[in-house]
């Protein structure tokens, strides 16, 4: 049995570590942040993600997964190291690779000969070459494989078990095959693991794709950039639909029916957020410039995306004579998407803060992300414990994240105090909302 160490107990690291442990590997999970490590040691994750806690507690209990902060304990006996450390953006939009190089250096210090170092963190193309230089200067025989991560928060376990593709790229072909073998082993156990996690089994057959190191690095950022472009395109057309009295959902349903285009990621709304798209797009722009390539199209997409929370708030502002000052607005949904507690670059948080800065009295609520959002919300925003509490005296309600709890909530109750309903993800039927006596505001659904 091989021993695996996963570096970084974040969204990706925890998910990968629990799945590798349940696939039959002995797994160490290294996390330097004490608070996170202590929570994980109790068999719980610090974030909400369906199925993760079930897999984490059982793997820790029977000793297959060992959380630690000690490189010297686990790297010497590891055959494969998966690096899942954070790659946040710098203030200028470029990727901050300090964790990537620090973790590679710490690994090199303790690695045995022949170690395979797998980069799952999203890094700019060309990073692997520089990490290899770290290994060379430590005089260690470590082979580097780029294995970009495609999981989505909210469906992380399912995405990893029932993947559409696993990409691995590197100069050492046998190391690339060894990395793909880890996923083959995981695939062979996936239905059993899904049952423990309490998620649906699927019949999906994914592809194993071996590439060069640099191609693998570029696959990841190019994929996210393309999806960001699709979302942004839908939002740009939605603004035109608003102005021209068309319905963006009808438009995109028909546009997406063309198989050359596809319907996915053509939902207009408050724009993308999270720990990936915004920083991956800005990182791509910056890495392009470092090679002398101007990816102007991505800068335009980023600008357009950043405009969406303000665009929606402006639409709400128009509804009130005298504007938003002293208007009571409830923002429902603070996670950047449903199914997660992650609030990084969350459009719901952005809208709540814009409202407070424009003089509105803001209440906010999220079923899973209240605690994580509190730090990012302006001080005058009151975080509530339930939908009922948040909307109890509101003049307007904004559904910023499409949690089932908000989609299934009674429209009549939304209308108890509020007169205006903002559907920031275009998930409601305007007719139903109007029937409940509310003025409906969507994005591109005038
Ligand atoms: N979150 C996602 O949905 C997602 C999806 C695909 C790819 N990615 C990419 O995966 C990477 C990780 O993302 P995340 O969301 O899990 O990040 P995160 O910030 O939640 O977690 C990263 C963890 O790495 C730890 N860390 C920092 N330095 C370390 C070191 N030297 N050794 C060990 N651990 C260290 C941090 O303390 C942190 O807990 C990023 O590059 C991200 O772009 C994320």
Per-residue model confidence as pLDDT tens digits over 201-220: 999 899 999 999 999 999 99
The DSSP bridge pattern shows strands 115-119 and 80-83 to be parallel
Q: How many angstroms from the chain centroid is the CA of residue 19?
A: 18
- Structure token digits, residue 152: 């989505």
Q: Calculate mean pLDDT across residues 276-304.
A: 97
**What pTM value is reported for the model?**
0.94
The DSSP bridge pattern shows strands 328-332 and 361-365 to be parallel
For residue 131, the number of C-alpha atoms closer than 13 Å in the C-beta half-sphere is 33
- pLDDT in the model for residue 279: 97
Question: Measured from the CA of 11, which atom of ligand 1 is nearest?
Answer: 16
Q: What is the CA radius of gyration of the chain?
A: 23
Q: Residue 229: pLDDT above 90?
A: yes
For tokens 């429209």, name the residue. Answer: 411
Centre of ligand 1 to C-alpha 325, Å, is 40
Which of 4, 5, 6, 12 for mutating ligand 1's site (highest number of atoms within 8 Å of CB)? 12
Alpha-carbon distance 6 to 14, whole Å?
A: 8
Angstrom CA distances, 387 to 390, 405, 409, stand at: 5, 9, 9
- Structure token digits, residue 38: 């202590």
Alpha-carbon distance 228 to 344, whole Å?
A: 16
| Among 446, 394, 444, 400, CA closest to 420 | 394
Q: Helix (H, G, I), strand (E, B), or coil: what is residue 144?
A: strand
What positions carry a catalytic annotation?
Answer: 276
| Among 423, 387, 380, CA closest to 248 | 423
Alpha-carbon distance 268 to 241, whole Å?
A: 11
Alpha-carbon distance 87 to 99, whole Å?
A: 7
List the residue whose alpha carbon is closest to atom 30 of ligand 1. 103
422 sits in which H/E element: strand 420-423
Centre of ligand 1 to C-alpha 9, Å, is 7
Alpha-carbon distance 82 to 13, whole Å?
A: 8
| Among 328, 309, 325, 317, CA closest to 358 | 325
For tokens 């950043």, name the residue. Answer: 306
| Strands (E) located in 173-299 | 207-211
Give the number of residues written for the chain.
Answer: 446
Q: Residue 166: pLDDT above 90?
A: yes
Per-residue model confidence as pLDDT tens digits over 104-113: 999 999 999 9
| Strands (E) located in 188-237 | 207-211
- pLDDT in the model for residue 1: 58
Q: Residue 154: pLDDT above 70?
A: yes
Centre of ligand 1 to C-alpha 353, Å, is 26
Q: How confident is the model at residue 309 (pLDDT cuts 50, 70, 90)?
A: very high
List the residue whose alpha carbon is closest to atom 19 of ligand 1. 86
Share of the chain above pLDDT 70, in %: 100
- pLDDT in the model for residue 446: 77
Alpha-carbon distance 343 to 224, whole Å?
A: 18
Centre of ligand 1 to C-alpha 10, Å, is 5
Cβ-contact 116, 80 below 8 angstroms: yes
For tokens 């989505």, name the residue. Answer: 152
* Structural domains present in the chain: 3-213 (3.40.50.720), 249-441 (3.40.50.720)
| 77 CB-near residues (< 8 Å, 6+ apart) | 3, 112
159 sits in which H/E element: helix 156-161
Pocket of ligand 1 (CB under 6 A): 7-13, 30-33, 36, 84-87, 99, 102-103, 106, 121-122, 149, 151, 153, 275-276
- pLDDT in the model for residue 47: 92
Per-residue model confidence as pLDDT tens digits over 321-339: 889 999 999 999 999 999 9
Which of 37, 107, 275 for mutating ligand 1's site (highest number of atoms within 8 Å of CB)? 275
| 259 CB-near residues (< 8 Å, 6+ apart) | none
| Mean pLDDT of the residues in the chain | 97
């Amino acid at each position: 049995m091989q021993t695996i160490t996963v570096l970084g107990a974040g969204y990706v690291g925890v998910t990968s570590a629990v799945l590798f442990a349940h696939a039959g590997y002995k797994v160490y999970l290294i996390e330097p942040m004490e608070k996170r490590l202590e929570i994980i040691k109790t068999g719980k994750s610090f974030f909400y993600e369906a199925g993760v806690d079930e897999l984490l507690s059982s793997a820790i209990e029977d000793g297959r997964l060992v959380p630690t902060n000690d490189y010297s304990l686990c790297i010497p006996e590891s055959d494969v190291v998966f690096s899942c450390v954070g790659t946040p953006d710098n203030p200028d939009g470029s990727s901050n690779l300090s964790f990537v190089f620090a973790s590679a250096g710490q690994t090199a210090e303790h690695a045995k000969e022949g170690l395979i170092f797998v980069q799952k963190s999203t890094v700019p193309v060309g990073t692997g070459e520089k990490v290899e230089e770290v290994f060379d200067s430590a005089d260690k025989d470590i082979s580097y494989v780029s294995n970009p991560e495609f999981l989505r928060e909210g469906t992380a376990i399912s995405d990893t078990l029932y993947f559409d593709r696993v990409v691995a790229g590197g100069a050492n072909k046998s190391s690339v095959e060894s990395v793909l073998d880890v996923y083959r082993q995981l695939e062979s156990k996936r239905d059993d693991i899904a049952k423990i996690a309490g998620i649906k089994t699927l019949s999906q057959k994914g592809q194993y794709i071996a590439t060069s190191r640099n191609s693998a690095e570029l696959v990841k950022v190019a994929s996210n950039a393309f999806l960001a472009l699709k979302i942004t395109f839908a939002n740009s057309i939605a603004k035109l639909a608003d102005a021209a009295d068309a319905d963006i959902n009808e438009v995109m349903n028909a546009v997406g029916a063309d198989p050359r285009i596809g319907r996915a990621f053509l939902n207009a709304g408050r724009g993308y957020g999270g720990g990936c798209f915004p920083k991956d797009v800005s990182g791509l722009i910056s890495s392009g410039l470092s090679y002398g390539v101007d990816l102007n199209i991505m800068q335009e997409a980023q600008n357009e995306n950043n405009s969406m929370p303000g665009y929606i708030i402006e639409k709400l502002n128009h509804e009130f004579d005298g504007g938003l000052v002293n208007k009571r607005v409830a923002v429902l949904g603070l996670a950047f998407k449903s199914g997660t507690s992650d609030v990084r670059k969350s459009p719901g948080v952005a809208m709540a803060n814009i409202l407070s800065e424009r003089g509105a009295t803001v209440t906010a609520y999220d079923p899973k992300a209240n605690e994580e959002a509190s730090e990012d919300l302006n001080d005058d925003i009151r975080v509530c414990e339930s939908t009922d509490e948040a909307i109890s005296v509101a003049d307007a309600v904004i559904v910023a994240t499409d949690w089932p709890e908000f989609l299934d909530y009674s429209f009549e109750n939304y209308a108890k105090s509020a007169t205006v309903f903002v559907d920031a993800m275009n998930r409601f039927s305007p007719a139903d909302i109007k029937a409940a006596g509310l003025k409906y505001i969507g994005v591109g659904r005038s």
